Structure 1
Amino acid sequence: MEFRELPGERGLRSLDDIEFSVRGSLAPAVEWILDGSYTLFFEHYVLMYRDPNVAISGSIPKGAMKRMIGKMPIILARASGRGRVALGRGAAGEIVGVPIAPGQTLEVREHQFLAATDTLSYGFTRVRGLANLLFGGNGFFVDTFHAGREAGVVWVHVHGNAIEVELGPGEHLDVEPSRWCYKDPSVKMTTVPINVSAGLFASSSFALNRFTGPGRVGLQTMGVYLETDSP
């Protein structure tokens, strides 16, 4: 098991020949200067600004009714053309760009993907577990990004600072449910109930997510519970 701190993107950077700039430090946003060679897609409400000649269009992903019931955004916006466009979640943290090679998939916790290149296919799943049954929750969504023949990039908003752990085959790590942000699909996630007792009249119960390798898990030092969350 190997841990490493991921430096948040700062200033002018390049991933897979795509240049972008991170603006701000406390609540960062990302600016791209589109050159017509690629399109970005994102949840529509994270748009910060654009040049007027950058076209913004929208689409509704499959399964939109499930997302609407789960109080998730149902419109994916797309930015194309030539000019500046900037996106930000208006929250403290860091931006991490994650390249995805052809044939690979990345799973990202809901409300944490900032943008992705249109070379990636997008989907989502709803995660349920024992804790949801115990505490009456509805589960949460995980966004999935898959690269077919072409590589792509997903930009993830990390609350606090980013730490990535590489799990070996069969290695386990229990994580507080709001403290992970992305993972490889090869990493299995289950729910583990924890009961803490300090005597006859003092006890508490909570749940952890157990991750089992092999693969990467992205962690964040600041936990943020969202409206759809139920660990």
Structure 2
Amino acid sequence: MDRSQIRNMLLQTFEDFQMTRSERSALNQIFSHVSLTDHNLSLIRNEAFQIFREHKPAGVPDGQALSWLEDLIKILANTNTKEAALSSEALFSPHDDCSHRICRLISSARKKFDICVFTITDDRITEAILGAHARQVQIRIITDNDKSFDLGSDIERLERSGIPVRTDQTEYHMHHKFALFDSEYVLTGSYNWTRSASLNNSENLVITNDPQLLVRFESEFEKLWNGFVV
């Protein structure tokens, strides 16, 4: 099953933003006769996230369209095939474990990653982001407007390089710290992307490929991205 076949099949079930019983049954039948390797599972998830981003009408509540995405993830998880092993890890600061792991994830990104963080002042992470941008990885950044003007903030530098950036313009703070890599891994935790977090603070960082968490964080990113107009 190639990418175009997968996309067409998923688009047919996305027309009304929810899966009927017959559609779920049909997908179960199809997937039960296909060798779902780790690569194929990743391909299907990528196409599903892409359809969710591109085809959800602005007037449709996120929760309504999200139910389609969650149904698909459940079908993949329940199919009697070779399922990608669940993988999670936790890291802590101070010390450089967190920052080095973020840089390695950025450097290993193949197609795209989305960043949603309060602030970025760690030049090592910024250089890794710019390196990914140079090799034409698609990147989007959401951050807080107040922190983007702080001394040492790298947001303006990243935006000048051509990376799309959107900021929270409200009186409150966009205080998230998470990132999504190739629709395969989500990174989250208290860890701020700053040198002080690496050198001094007690922080945590969690990385997982749990598909249900990926769905939730992907939805949150898209909601914020569409809400923070340029």
TM-score range, shorter chain: under 0.3
Structure holding more strand per residue: 1
User: Which TM-score applies when normalising by structure 2?
Assistant: 0.23
